């Protein structure tokens, strides 16, 4: 049986597993304290971001290759960090975005797609 897929980004009330909660949990384990966790946009149930930009501030010097590997090892299997970069202190993932692109897919069949069954509402 497949593990439940995390279906929403933003922290929710109660014990709902979200991408934001999982990322913050891992960052706390690896960094201890960090500041201003921010993200470019949130996703709703059944909506999945192929590329989400997230930023946080830390005073620690990081080896980004090693740190990305550590973060991915601690995250659940349905969340993965593809790339990390050091950015200017004024960078804000939501306000500094220069492009947002959305794709919508509608399956209009009389049967459920095996691929969409586990990720769509």
How far is Cα 52 from Cα 8, in angstroms, rounded to an integer?
13
Q: What is the DSSP track for 8-74? A: -SS--SSS---HHHHHHHHHHHHHSS-EEEEES----TT---SS--EEEE-SS---HHHHHHHHHHH
Question: 44 catalytic, yes or no?
Answer: yes
Catalytic residue among 33, 44, 78, 92: 44
Cβ pair 37, 54 in contact under 8 A: yes
- The catalytic site residues sit at 44
């Amino acid at each position: 049986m497949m593990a439940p897929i995390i279906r929403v980004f933003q922290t929710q009330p109660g014990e709902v597993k979200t991408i934001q909660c999982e990322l913050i949990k891992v960052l706390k384990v690896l960094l201890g304290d960090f500041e201003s966790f921010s993200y470019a946009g949130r996703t709703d149930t059944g909506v999945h971001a192929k590329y989400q930009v997230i930023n946080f501030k830390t005073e620690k010097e990081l080896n980004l290759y090693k740190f990305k590997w550590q973060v991915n090892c601690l995250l659940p299997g349905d969340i993965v960090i593809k790339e990390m970069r050091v950015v200017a202190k004024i960078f804000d993932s939501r306000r500094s975005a220069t492009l947002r692109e959305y794709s919508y897919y509608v399956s209009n069949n009389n049967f459920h797609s095996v691929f969409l069954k586990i990720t769509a509402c």
